[in-house]
Amino acid sequence: DTGVSQDPRHKITKRGQNVTFRCDPISEHNRLYWYRQTLGQGPEFLTYFQNEAQLEKSRLLSDRFSAERPKGSFSTLEIQRTEQGDSAMYLCASSSQGTGDSPLHFGNGTRLTVT
């Protein structure tokens, strides 16, 4: 069990640029979640996948955000035309079943700073 891996750990970008983050879940986990966490707050749900299917997207996820999990393994989260309000920690988590039966395993996160 190598854990959930996220890349990069930190990203600094200028407003208006596009950024992409990658998440590699625990290999046998079929569920993958993206959360956003701002300083001093709890994580907020963005979206989740079961295998390659994106099952739910939060209303927090504007049209500038897109997530994919093309082969049901790793996932990418892209933010287009970044804004300063996008600055946050983006957390990825995975589980093998529903969240109650199989608690989420989190990665270290990608910290995005938009200048």
Partner 1 sequence: AQTVTQSQPEMSVQEAETVTLSCTYDTSESDYYLFWYKQPPSRQMILVIRQEAYKQQNATENRFSVNFQKAAKSFSLKISDSQLGDAAMYFCAYTGANSKLTFGKGITLSVRP
Residue 89 corresponds to which tokens in the numbers above? 């920690």
* Residue among 14 and 40 whose Cβ is closer to partner 1: 40
Cβ(59)–Cβ(47) below 8 Å: no
Q: Which among 89, 85, 94, 81 is positioned nearest to 109, based on CA atoms? A: 89
Beta bridge pairs of residue 99: none
The yes or no reply on residue 91 touching partner 1 (CB under 8 A) is: yes
Regarding 56 and contact with partner 1 (CB under 8 A), the answer is: yes
When asked if residue 41 is in the footprint of partner 1 (CB under 8 A), the reply is: yes
Binding site for partner 1 (CB under 8 A): 4, 31, 33, 35, 40-45, 48, 56, 91, 93, 98-100, 103-104, 106-109
